[in-house]
Chain A
Amino acid sequence: MADFDPMKFFALWMFTHDQADDLMVQSVERGSAVAGEGMSGGADAFTDGFMAMVAEEKARLKEQIASGKLEEAVNPQDEALEEVRFEVAELRAAVQQMQTTLDAIAAHVVPTGA
């Protein structure tokens, strides 16, 4: 086996990066094509579309970093709290509706029709 050549190793590493970068840029370009005009459709089209969206997200992130205003992630605990709040409110409404039914029965009013 030939001796390890760091120059060749890094050259290969750089070449791989260049190739991958080129492919990524081409994928983003294809995915950014609007209304399917530039997009061929088929199995690879989704990957291109996805890469275009990742590129948009990257641009947004870059802008946020530059302006120092990073979006805060939604706290899952807040979401869970809201859900519980809603369930409690639903229960309150169900009890209120049952009270109405009880009142109706207590009023001894016989429904007409229906």
Chain B
Amino acid sequence: MSARSTQITRTLLAAGVRGTVRSRFGLTSASARRAAFAAEWRRAFETLGGAFIKLGQMISVRPDEFGDELAREMECLRDNVAPVPFAQLKPIIEASLGAPISSLYESIEEKPLATASVAQVHAAVLAKAYRPVWGEELPVGAEVVVKVIRPGTADALRTDVAEARRFASKRLVRRLLRGIDVDASLQEFAASLERELDLRVEGRVADRFAFDFRPDPKIVVPRIVWTHAAPKVLTMERMYGWRLSELSEAELAGVDAHALAVHGATAFMRQVMLYGRYHADLHPSNLFVTPDSRIAYLDFGIVGHLTPAERGDIAQVLAGFVYRDADRALRYSADLGVVVPPHKVEMVRRELGELLDKTMGGGSTDFRHFGFGFLGLLRRNGIAIPSGYGLLVKSLATVEGVARRLYPDIDIMEVARPFVTRMIGESMGRPDKIQERLPKVWRAAMRELLA
């Protein structure tokens, strides 16, 4: 057994023991027990670092698979890694870009701007002008940031994934994680790690987002310098402003917080329902508010993709939530893969109706409460939740949280209502829809007249 393997086993076992003690050997309520274990798993993941930080981040966006308590706890995961000395990164930059740093950048800061478990970010100044994929040219002397994969990271992460697989295959762990598709989750996790280890993937997503939002002057995405890009190095425009997680009241006073919150929430809905690509890791440190009151998107590590048919179904499900129409929500959820067995339809519909009335009616709405409640309702009834569906519900709940940081009284469903209504209204005009629906409309009208 390797030293890392021993460390992982010891840390996770200790977390399990502490969780058992904190939950009074299982004598507390089920939710208190889950919360106690979740806190211990989070601490253990922080101690282990490396791939476990990434695993925790993935868990935080999947309440459908891992439960609300664990997903919430993993949102607080801190990536406490010491910075790598620049002297170790310089050879990686030069080897990846095939030129000495002095010819690539006018200057580069040795002190990092940000450090995380996978990559480190340094401020730099561009030595040559560059015409990006979209947007205006970056001139000589433009301020950029250089993101570099930390040395040894790829091997360490792959080793950790192998260890996590070995650990997950143990019978005791399987029992503890019952109800979770461990193999599929680890498979998905390994694939997302591989994508994250190639920074060009993130660059391409950023370009696409910049293009999608080209008509919107309020949304800004950093421009990528492709002559200074490689799997381990990505150079992009530097953004100034405040991370949403650092925005103070004084700074908020200088911007139209309500307009910004509404705009941010609408922008997310456009990503989901119009473009079919959405930023699925929208926590407050991945969003900047610029001094000229624009929203800057950063870090495109987790991105959700949707087909045109899925987009239409999501608009319908959302309309079901917004208008508290449980039938509509369930009908179109089925098209998205949430299949309720016939003998449970009536019960699920009733429970969903009650949840909608409790969380979405009476003048104020709470999507997070509703969304997680709905996922819990499906789980309790043994209904499989497709990963994309869970990710989307979580993302919407996060958007609500992010918008509320800007403007605490924002009602996300009030923002969604005109959006989804218009989307569905517009889709009605499509010839294929008309052809599909007209006979039904005619039959319904005749039935009513002849009744």
Q: Are A96 and B226 in contact (CB under 8 A)?
A: yes
Q: Does B149 contact A (CB under 8 A)?
A: yes
Q: Does B324 contact A (CB under 8 A)?
A: yes
Q: Are B94 and A109 in contact (CB under 8 A)?
A: yes
Of B8-16, B60-68, B278-286, B410-418, which binds chain A?
B410-418
Q: Are A43 and B133 in contact (CB under 8 A)?
A: no
Q: Does B95 contact A (CB under 8 A)?
A: yes
Of the four ranges (under 10, 10 to 19, 20 to 34, 35 or more), the interface on chain A belongs to 35 or more
Query: Across the interface, which residues of B come within 8 angstroms of A82, CB to CB?
Result: 214
Q: Are A53 and B97 in contact (CB under 8 A)?
A: no
Known contacts A41-B325, A113-B88, A114-B154: does B133 contact A105 (CB below 8 Å)? Answer: no
Q: Are A114 and B361 in contact (CB under 8 A)?
A: no
What is the bound-complex CA distance between A99 and B357, given in angstroms? Answer: 59
Q: Are B325 and A43 in contact (CB under 8 A)?
A: yes
Q: Give a binary string over A73-114; 1 marks a CB under 8 Å from any B CB, 0 the rest.
A: 000000000100010011011101101111111110111111
What is the bound-complex CA distance between A100 and B88, given in angstroms? Answer: 21
| Distance from B60 Cβ to chain A, minimum over Cβ atoms (Å) | 26
Q: Are B229 and A113 in contact (CB under 8 A)?
A: no
Q: Give a binary string over B188-219; 1 marks a CB under 8 Å from any A CB, 0 the rest.
A: 00000000000010001001000100100000
Q: Are B229 and A39 in contact (CB under 8 A)?
A: no
Query: Across the interface, which residues of A come within 8 angstroms of B226, CB to CB?
Result: 93-94, 96-97, 100
What is the bound-complex CA distance between A46 and B362, given in angstroms? Answer: 17
Known contacts A43-B325, A90-B204, A104-B97: does B149 contact A114 (CB below 8 Å)? Answer: yes
Q: Are B133 and A106 in contact (CB under 8 A)?
A: no
What is the bound-complex CA distance between A50 and B363, given in angstroms? Answer: 19
Residue from A94, A102, A103, A104 with most neighbouring chain B CB atoms (10 Å): A104
| Distance from A21 Cβ to chain B, minimum over Cβ atoms (Å) | 18
| Distance from B308 Cβ to chain A, minimum over Cβ atoms (Å) | 15
Query: Across the interface, which residues of A come within 8 angstroms of B97, CB to CB?
Result: 100, 103-104
Q: Are B133 and A90 in contact (CB under 8 A)?
A: yes
Q: Are A41 and B152 in contact (CB under 8 A)?
A: no
Give the contacting residue for A41; candidates B207, B230, B323; CB below 8 A: B323
Q: Does B79 contact A (CB under 8 A)?
A: no
Q: Are B323 and A86 in contact (CB under 8 A)?
A: no
Known contacts A100-B227, A114-B92: does B328 contact A46 (CB below 8 Å)? Answer: yes
What is the bound-complex CA distance between A48 and B276, given in angstroms? Answer: 28
Q: Are B92 and A36 in contact (CB under 8 A)?
A: no
CB-nearest residue of chain A to B96: A104
| Distance from B27 Cβ to chain A, minimum over Cβ atoms (Å) | 41
Q: Give a binary string over B303-343; 1 marks a CB under 8 Å from any A CB, 0 the rest.
A: 00000000000000001001111011000000000000000
- Within 381-398 of B, Cβ neighbours of A (below 8 Å) are at none
Count B-side interface residues using an 8 Å CB cutoff: 55
Q: Are B325 and A100 in contact (CB under 8 A)?
A: no
Q: Are A45 and B324 in contact (CB under 8 A)?
A: yes
Q: Does B439 contact A (CB under 8 A)?
A: no
Known contacts A43-B325, A53-B421, A107-B99: does B152 contact A93 (CB below 8 Å)? Answer: no
Q: Does B422 contact A (CB under 8 A)?
A: yes
Give the contacting residue for B324; candidates A34, A42, A107, A112; CB below 8 A: A42
Give the contacting residue for A111; candidates B92, B356, B411; CB below 8 A: B92
What is the bound-complex CA distance between A9 and B226, given in angstroms? Answer: 73
Query: Across the interface, which residues of B come within 8 angstroms of A89, CB to CB?
Result: 132-134, 207
Q: Residues on A close to B: CB < 8 A?
A: 34-37, 39, 41-43, 45-46, 49-50, 53-54, 82, 86, 89-90, 92-94, 96-97, 99-107, 109-114
The 7 closest A-B CB pairs, nearest first, are: A113-B151, A41-B324, A104-B98, A103-B98, A45-B323, A93-B226, A111-B95
Q: Can you give 28 contacting A-B residue pairs, CB < 8 Å?
A: A34-B414, A36-B413, A42-B323, A43-B325, A43-B328, A46-B325, A46-B328, A50-B424, A53-B422, A92-B133, A93-B207, A96-B226, A99-B227, A100-B226, A103-B97, A103-B99, A104-B96, A104-B230, A106-B98, A107-B98, A109-B95, A111-B92, A114-B149, A114-B150, A114-B151, A114-B154, A114-B155, A114-B232
Q: Residues on B close to A: CB < 8 A?
A: 88, 91-92, 94-99, 132-134, 149-155, 200, 204, 207, 211, 214, 224, 226-230, 232, 319, 322-325, 327-328, 356-357, 360-365, 411, 413-414, 417-418, 421-422, 424-425
With A35-B363, A41-B324 known, 19 other A-B pairs at CB within 8 A are A35-B365, A36-B361, A36-B362, A46-B424, A50-B421, A50-B424, A53-B422, A86-B133, A100-B229, A101-B98, A104-B95, A104-B97, A109-B91, A111-B91, A111-B95, A113-B91, A113-B150, A114-B149, A114-B154
